[in-house]
Structure 1
Amino acid sequence: MALDLFVVLIYAAGMLVLGYYGMRRAKTHEDYLVAGRNLGPSLYMGTMAATVLGGASTVGTVRLGYVHGISGFWLCAALGMGIIALNLFLAKPLLKLKIFTVTQVLEKRYNPMARQASAVIMLAYALMIGVTSILAIGTVLQVLFGLPFWVSVLLGGGVVVVYSTIGGMWSLTLTDIVQFVIKTVGLMFILLPICLYRVGGWDELVAKLPASSFSFTAIGWDTIITYFMIYFFGILIGQDIWQRVFTARDEKVAQYAGTFAGFYCVLYGLACALIGMAAHVLIPDLDNVNNAFAAIVKLSLPDGIRGLVIAAALAAMMSTASAGLLAASTVLTEDLLPRLRGGKQSSLSLNRLFTLLTGATVLGIALVVNDVISALTLAYNLLVGGMLIPLIGAIFWKRASTPGAIASMALGFVTALVFMFKDGLDANTPIYYSLAVGLVSFVAVSLLSRKPQGVAARAV
């Protein structure tokens, strides 16, 4: 594994060098948070796709493919379709606002209290997005190189924290482009063909797996619907994704390049599901299905090539980890900290400090959580359950009120937590009940309270 480790170390060093170049370009507060709002089609498409396709999308979809077959692609499909919808229908009004966070929309429609309440939910979501991918990084390094899990988390996650802290969004953009290329080549053009070759070709794959493995609905309609409820709508309101939208030079860049990124996500999901299916044939008695990705890489690839594919997987994970990290830091510095500082806005140095502190928090959480899909589900359950209803209401319902929005956020958030604790992270009940409670409370309290006098929905 010495050659593989060398390749991975070269990759990690490259990410740090790109982080340094990002630091040199991040001269202002706006550069640091949204890359100066000046990304063209290529940079925008790469950074958007890289942000969405992280640890859960890669390691998690391979696991789903191992267990359920081709229908495991629905996780990535829901994310990709959410990207398409966001860029086609919401990017234009969002770019006109010149804002930094999702919660600023709620302040424009309701009042500052709604912004603060939603910022707490968004912070929890963004932290867990970062944790999810750091977990995946730790799992891959642990299985492939035999490192203790805590060492894997600190080494892999530490690289992400460093380059995110020094250059902000410019570092993320530059690293995302390289990561996009590496993971496309490594996973779709190297690992997938080699896995199919090791199995004996497509015909052998079909012969050695049950017919249900090739059904696009084998995972179950309830799971498919839940994926869309959680991930499709989560993409539409997630800070890590909106922050990428804010980097676009104009609406046409967002619409065309963003749509391409969404379709890429669907294809990526199909490739990862097929890799999982090949792993099921080659390693039928895997003790822990969460390690399906690392196990198939270790078994199928020769030295050196294995290192390139490991780097490809780390690229996918690091891009999402850095997106969640910067999103959490941005919510802190733009939404929560100014209230504690008497309305004083953040500076470039303060942004860097809080990105570093947020990174340390993410690493700490990653050391005590152990399932990438569960961590991702937790993040999106809290986000969608707490914020989807009041945010849609802010845009489309003139009668919506601040008390209704806050009631919906609080009750939806708590309901999601209660049902995740009661039924487990993999259950469908947390998202369904939290949305139902959030909708009822939002409508009821808004109708019972005074009609808002502030800026109407046309501001959005």
Structure 2
Amino acid sequence: MNGTIILIVVLYMLLMLAIGYYSSKKISTNTDFMVAGRRLGPLLMAGTLAATEIGGGSSLGVVANAYGSWGMSASWYIIAMGIAFVILIPLAPKFRSSSVKTVPEYFRRRYDKFSGGFSAIVMMAALVGLTAGQFKASASILEVMLGLDYTTSLIIVTLVITVYAVMGGLWSVTLTDFIQVFLIVIGMAIAIPFALKLAGGWATVKQTVPAEHLSLTKGIGGWGQIAGYVIMYVATFSVGQEAVSRYYAARDGKAA
């Protein structure tokens, strides 16, 4: 096992925990914990929203689909997210002006206790599955990097993420999100030339990969399917706690 890789992974996890501890010192009220004291500016907003949607599914999942039948059109999984966020720009100040901390709280205030409770149950069920998927993806990466068995990797990932999230609330999650999305984007950009070199260069890729896999529309099923993804993301980002909570945490409507 490469000692340098182990050191990098350990330092990374310690950094995440340190951020959680640092953020815990900023927590004095429920608002601080749930919506980071409503002090997120545009840069942190962009970072945490991007990291919320660009995680295990948007990296390992997209790669798996690209190697399957989707090819290059798997990129629409991410592009459609970007389009959805642009469409939501006019609604962002309205999210912020609602002055709530959670989506169920909004439903409770707007309608009644039953609506709030029902929406909380529905969202919990969805978020449990989403969180499990992120944990599994992270554990798979840790398994490969450190040579650990999958179960051990999953336990480590779950403990580290849970600890820093519980310690610092959304403020901790925002700061770690910002670092993680930076590492994901920069890391993948750095990896591209190495991957192409290992594959024998772009010319070799074009000769080897079926032409339809290099299309941006064929693998995914055409423009109708792409439009469906955009509509789905707009709908989920409008009511999903994982996304809307970031808008609630914005400094003001303009930042949102």
TM more than 0.5? yes
Q: How does 1:347-366 map to 2 (within 5 A)?
A: none
The structural deviation recorded for 1:233 is: 2.0
1:126 is matched by which residue type in structure 2?
Answer: L
Report the equivalent of 1:126.
127
Q: Secondary structure at the match of 2:254?
A: helix
Q: How does 1:251-266 map to 2 (within 5 A)?
A: 251-254=253-256
Q: Secondary structure at the match of 1:179?
A: helix
2:28 is matched by which residue type in structure 1?
Answer: K
* Correspondent of 2:75 among 73, 76, 80: 73
Q: Once the two structures are superposed, what CA deviation does each residue of 1:39-89 show, in whole Å capped at 9, x if it has no partner?
A: 112211111111111110011011111122110112112222222222x12
Report the equivalent of 2:200.
200
Report the equivalent of 1:40.
41
CA contact (8 A) 1:16 1:162 kept: yes
Q: How does 1:157-236 map to 2 (within 5 A)?
A: 157-188=158-189, 190-219=190-219, 220-221=221-222, 223-236=225-238
The structural deviation recorded for 1:213 is: 1.1
Pair 1:82-2:106 in alignment? no
Report the equivalent of 1:10.
11
Report the equivalent of 2:247.
245
Partners of 1:137 and 1:51 in 2: CA distance: 14
Q: Once the two structures are superposed, what CA deviation does each residue of 1:239-260 show, in whole Å capped at 9, x if it has no partner?
A: 0101111111122212xxxxxx
Partners of 2:238 and 2:200 in 1: CA distance: 41
Q: Once the two structures are superposed, what CA deviation does each residue of 1:127-152 show, in whole Å capped at 9, x if it has no partner?
A: 22211100101112223433221111
CA contact (8 A) 1:19 1:171 kept: yes
1:247 is matched by which residue type in structure 2?
Answer: A
CA contact (8 A) 1:35 1:169 kept: yes
CA contact (8 A) 1:75 1:231 kept: no
The structural deviation recorded for 1:193 is: 2.0
Partners of 2:248 and 2:107 in 1: CA distance: 16
Q: Once the two structures are superposed, what CA deviation does each residue of 1:209-252 show, in whole Å capped at 9, x if it has no partner?
A: 11101111122136545534543422222101011111111222
Report the equivalent of 2:115.
114
Identity of aligned residues (%): 34
The structural deviation recorded for 1:90 is: 1.6
TM-score by length of 2: 0.92
Q: How does 1:267-416 map to 2 (within 5 A)?
A: none
The structural deviation recorded for 1:98 is: 0.5
Partners of 2:255 and 2:208 in 1: CA distance: 45
Q: Once the two structures are superposed, what CA deviation does each residue of 1:440-460 show, in whole Å capped at 9, x if it has no partner?
A: xxxxxxxxxxxxxxxxxxxxx
2:60 is matched by which residue type in structure 1?
Answer: V
CA contact (8 A) 1:83 1:236 kept: no
CA contact (8 A) 1:59 1:136 kept: yes
CA separation of 1:226 and 1:41: change in aligned 2, threshold 3 A = closer
CA separation of 1:139 and 1:226: change in aligned 2, threshold 3 A = farther
CA contact (8 A) 1:40 1:249 kept: yes
Report the equivalent of 1:152.
153
The structural deviation recorded for 1:108 is: 3.4
CA contact (8 A) 2:84 2:231 kept: no
Partners of 2:239 and 2:53 in 1: CA distance: 13
Larger radius of gyration: 1
Structure 1 alignment gaps of length 5 or more: 255-460
Q: Once the two structures are superposed, what CA deviation does each residue of 1:16-35 show, in whole Å capped at 9, x if it has no partner?
A: 11111111112211111111
Partners of 1:94 and 1:21 in 2: CA distance: 28
Q: Secondary structure at the match of 2:40?
A: coil
Report the equivalent of 1:267.
none
Partners of 1:246 and 1:13 in 2: CA distance: 29
The structural deviation recorded for 1:15 is: 0.6
Structure 2 alignment gaps of length 5 or more: none
2:131 is matched by which residue type in structure 1?
Answer: G
Q: Secondary structure at the match of 2:169?
A: helix
Partners of 2:35 and 2:240 in 1: CA distance: 15
CA RMSD after TM alignment? 1.7
Q: Secondary structure at the match of 2:255?
A: helix
Partners of 2:129 and 2:82 in 1: CA distance: 20
CA contact (8 A) 2:22 2:168 kept: yes
Report the equivalent of 2:26.
25
1:12 is matched by which residue type in structure 2?
Answer: M
Q: Which has the higher contact order (CA 8 A, sep 6+)?
A: 2
